[in-house]
Amino acid sequence: MKNFAPEFKTPEQYITDITYQIWEERGIDRIRVWYAAEAPVRTSHGVTSSVEDVVQSTYATLDEFPDRLLLPEDIIIGDLAEGFLSSHRIRSTATHLGDGAFGDATNRPITMMTIADCLCQDNQVVDEWLVRDQGVITQQIGLDLVEHGKELGRKNPKNYTVGNETYIKRWNSPDGLTIIGDRILAEGIIQTYDAVWNDKNLDILSEGYDRAIRFDGPTGELHYGRTPTRDFLESILSSIPDGRYEPHHVIVRQDPEKAVRIALRWSYAGTHTGKGRYGDATGVPLAVLGISHFELRYGKIVNEWFCIDETAIHAQIAAYQSEVSS
């Protein structure tokens, strides 16, 4: 690979190896080698812009979950003229052995989905968009997801009252909507999500989704078939009925002897004016930042991994409400 260390033969190996060496070999100091000094890391909870922030957050996570394993389920690569963009889906296992962001240690095991989009150039990660399903952690260690999220918002309201436009801008690629790979397949995914989220047309599932769809969603939810998948999507639409979806980056990967794999980074932003997945209407702005992976069979979605962090959604609600009450 051009301008990458000779030990890395492919983009997939680069992502797999640096992840393993940083987290499982505890080579945290190597972050300073493999992340640019001012590489932004963007999440639903905020943006950091220093490699030292990445180092410290890694230490903090391992203090709380010291036996964490990061198991690479898939790495969808988009080749660029300079470097590449990877969308890395990870299933983490760990035990809550230390005190930290999730409270006192409970000694309970957890399993969590994470998807990280990384822009890699010159042997370094230079930009990252990260989604961890932190809601599923709260449930597995005995916390209340809603109350945990709201406490985040009450403690740091400025992190969550930045406004929908700021959230959407955070999720953008540097050059706006970017498509890497087959444009027809990419447009098919973009248009299917547009029908669901912007047109509120859930009948599109009969056209765009295989009847055997396996839908892997937040908080460990796993749905089979179109009807439960539809019910899940409708629960979010009911909470934010005026929301608008925007695609930010699409990678289409067609490799021999594999299903067509697609990664989509997207946002959905509007107002919490309906009763649904996020409780009674509050009238506050809400932004959902997500990354989804898909596998196609005969042109339809047969597997979907839908990764969002719902603790950040409840944090937004509480943060805006605390501003009003103060």
Domain 158-325 part of CATH 3.10.450.50: yes
Q: What token pair was written down for 229?
A: 């998948």
What confidence score (pLDDT) does residue 175 get? 82
**Helices in the chain by DSSP H: which ranges?**
11-19, 31-34, 51-64, 134-140, 145-155, 157-160, 164-171, 183-197, 205-208, 226-239, 310-325
Q: Which residue has the higher pLDDT, 81 or 58?
A: 58
pTM, two decimals, is 0.96
User: Could you report the per-residue pLDDT of 244-291, keeping only the tens digit for each?
Assistant: 999 999 999 999 999 999 999 999 999 999 999 999 999 999 999 999
Q: Name the amino acid, one letter, at 162.
A: V
**Helices in 90-163 by DSSP H: which ranges?**
134-140, 145-155, 157-160
Q: How confident is the model at residue 200 (pLDDT cuts 50, 70, 90)?
A: very high
User: Which CATH entry fits the domain spanning 11-143: 3.30.2310.20, 3.10.450.50, 3.40.640.10, 3.40.50.360?
Assistant: 3.10.450.50
The residue-averaged pLDDT of 99-110 equals 98
Q: How confident is the model at residue 300 (pLDDT cuts 50, 70, 90)?
A: very high
User: Could you report the per-residue pLDDT of 111-141, keeping only the tens digit for each?
Assistant: 999 999 999 999 999 999 999 999 999 999 9
CA atoms within 13 A on the CB side of 127: 10
Q: How confident is the model at residue 1 (pLDDT cuts 50, 70, 90)?
A: confident
Fold identical between 11-143 and 158-325?
yes
Does the structure show a pLDDT above 70 at 324?
A: no
Q: Domain spans of the chain? A: 11-143, 158-325
